């Protein structure tokens, strides 16, 4: 039996830092409110001329380099994003060409903040059943391009960046992805929305300009659902794998809100110091948050062989999911 193992990780974020003090000058907010309600201190924002492709490619190259694998060996490229530079060619198709993965299948995947987990789930199935040997899974967003900088409810939350994981199908030695679960409740879709262009009608130019599309979120209503869903899906993968909560070496949750992360960690009884948090430095980078965190942990040498790593994410759709691995 084959199992998918992560053999390389990478990340890339813009150099430009936007602090809470910077935001105090743009909207009616305070550093104190943002830190106490979200845990965010600063976020990275792409400059004019930078694109999602730039960051996704840098993350992909770092993952390939870490693994010592050539781009030409990649059989499948998945990029989880809802902020691709172009509708098509997709970001994944452009990455496929740039790394020289000729012949590889490539597609973008839209599952909001849970996109990377969905990507892992799909790559896992490809690698175990399709004969594909190597898959590159990316999560990346330039949320700053879809942020209403006059709306204090949302503009303090988001940041830009990309992360990548390179997966290899290996003979099962118990290491690698143990399980990935994906869920959705489309009936709650109105809680977080990015309409982009509403293609159900032909918009006039005036409408298009007036309705430049921004992320809208009913944050308070989403909060409790996020905590419950993240805890439930994490419970589900642990239980089915027969792994006790206290055996988790690293819990890597989607970084949407420090209070959500802490509440889920408490419910799951994750040991103190075993939950990875970087929301203070990057804010919510949607599909990029889990792979960025994974790469930071990996490069800091904090992942030891055999460690149990639990990743979980939640976002607009509503979609949520969890991936469990033995490193
Ligand atoms: N600065 C200062 N005050 C702000 C503010 C800001 N940036 N944003 C909102 N407020 C105000 C509100 O206007 C409100 O004021 P009022 O009481 O006078 O009406 C008050 O703060 C409380 O607002 P509320 O929305 O209830 O805050 P909250 O504690 O729920 O925090 C979020 C808001 C968005 C941080 C939080 O709800 C959240 O993180 N939700 C979940 C997000 C999530 O998981 N999304 C899915 C993945 S993307």
DSSP assignments along 80-147, one per residue: E-S--SSSSS-HHHHHHHHTT-TT-EEEEE--GGGHHHHHHHHHHHHHHHS---EEEEEEEEEGGGG-
Sign (positive/negative) of CA torsion 73, 78, 81, 83?
A: positive
Q: Which atom of ligand 1 is nearest to the CA of 223?
A: 41
Please report the pLDDT score of residue 12 as a whole number. 98
- For the chain, list the domains and their CATH numbers: 2-173 (3.40.47.10), 177-326 (3.40.47.10)
Cβ of 256 closer than 6 Å to ligand 1, yes or no, is yes
284: annotated active-site residue: yes
Cβ of 156 closer than 6 Å to ligand 1, yes or no, is yes
Please report the pLDDT score of residue 210 as a whole number. 53
**Residue 137 and residue 135: Cα distance in Å, rounded?**
6
257: annotated active-site residue: no
Please report the pLDDT score of residue 153 as a whole number. 93
- pLDDT tens track, the chain, 327 positions: 899 999 999 999 999 999 999 999 999 999 999 999 999 999 999 999 999 999 999 999 999 999 999 999 999 999 999 999 998 999 999 999 999 999 999 999 999 999 999 999 999 999 998 788 999 999 999 999 889 899 999 999 999 999 999 999 998 778 999 999 999 999 999 999 888 665 565 655 555 555 557 888 898 999 999 999 999 999 999 999 999 999 999 999 999 999 999 999 999 999 999 999 999 999 999 999 999 999 999 999 999 999 999 999 999 999 999 999 999
Please report the pLDDT score of residue 25 as a whole number. 97
Cβ of 257 closer than 6 Å to ligand 1, yes or no, is yes
Please report the pLDDT score of residue 130 as a whole number. 76
State residue 95 phi and psi, 5-degree precision.
-65, -45
Cβ of 152 closer than 6 Å to ligand 1, yes or no, is yes
DSSP, res 271: P
Q: What is the spatial order of strands in the sheet that 176-184 belongs to?
A: 176-184, 319-326, 308-315, 250-253
- Indicate left, alpha or beta for 237 from its phi (over 0: left) and psi (-120 to 50: alpha): alpha
Please report the pLDDT score of residue 282 as a whole number. 98
Pocket test residue of 28, 35, 37, 192 for ligand 1, highest count of atoms within 8 A of CB: 37
Please report the pLDDT score of residue 198 as a whole number. 58
Please report the pLDDT score of residue 94 as a whole number. 97
State residue 252 phi and psi, 5-degree precision.
-115, 90
Please report the pLDDT score of residue 173 as a whole number. 79
Spatial neighbors of 159 by CB under 8 A, at least 6 apart, are 13, 18, 43, 44, 45, 143, 144, 282, 283, 284, 285
Q: Which two tokens stand for residue 260?
A: 């959500």
Burial of 272 (0-12, 13-18, 19+ CB in 10 A): exposed
Please report the pLDDT score of residue 205 as a whole number. 57
Beta strand 76-80 pairing with 134-142: parallel
Please report the pLDDT score of residue 209 as a whole number. 56
Query: pTM value?
Result: 0.95
**Residue 211 and residue 213: Cα distance in Å, rounded?**
6
Convert 114-124 to b/e letters by CB count within 10 Å (16 or more is b): bbbbbbbbbbb
175: annotated active-site residue: no
CB 29 within 8 A of CB 23: yes
Smallest CA-to-CA distance from 66 within 188, 145, 142, 164 is with: 164
Spacing, Cα 261 to ligand 1 middle (Å): 16
Spacing, Cα 317 to ligand 1 middle (Å): 19
């Amino acid at each position: 039996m084959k199992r998918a193992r992560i053999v390389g990780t990478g990340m890339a974020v813009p150099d430009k830092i936007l602090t809470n003090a910077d935001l105090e000058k743009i909207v009616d907010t305070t550093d104190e409110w943002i830190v106490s309600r979200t845990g965010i201190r600063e976020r990275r924002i792409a400059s004019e001329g930078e694109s999602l492709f730039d960051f996704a490619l840098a993350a992909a190259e770092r993952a390939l380099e870490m693994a010592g694998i050539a781009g030409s060996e990649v059989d499948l490229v998945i990029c989880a994003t809802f902020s691709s530079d172009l509708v098509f060619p997709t970001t994944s198709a452009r990455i496929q060409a740039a790394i020289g993965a000729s012949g590889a299948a490539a597609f973008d995947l839209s599952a909001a903040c849970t996109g990377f987990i969905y990507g892992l789930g799909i790559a896992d199935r490809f690698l175990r059943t399709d004969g594909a040997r190597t898959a590159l899974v990316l999560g990346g967003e330039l949320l700053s391009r879809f942020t209403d900088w006059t709306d204090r409810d949302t503009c303090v939350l988001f940041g830009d960046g990309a992360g990548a994981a390179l997966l290899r199908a290996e003979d099962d030695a118990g290491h690698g992805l143990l399980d990935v679960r994906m869920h959705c409740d489309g009936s709650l879709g109105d809680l977080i929305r990015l309409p982009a262009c509403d293609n159900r009608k032909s918009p006039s130019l005036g409408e298009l300009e007036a309705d430049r599309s921004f992320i809208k979120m009913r944050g308070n209503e989403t909060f409790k659902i996020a905590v419950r869903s993240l805890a439930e899906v994490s419970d589900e993968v642990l239980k089915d794998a027969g792994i006790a909560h206290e055996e988790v070496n690293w819990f890597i949750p989607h970084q949407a809100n420090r209070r959500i992360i802490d509440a889920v960690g408490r419910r799951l009884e994750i040991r103190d110091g075993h939950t990875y948090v970087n929301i203070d430095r990057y804010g919510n980078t949607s599909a990029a948050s889990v792979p960025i965190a994974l790469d930071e942990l990996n490069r800091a040498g904090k992942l030891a062989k055999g460690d149990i790593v639990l990743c979980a994410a939640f976002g607009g759709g509503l979609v949520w999911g969890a991936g469990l691995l033995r490193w």
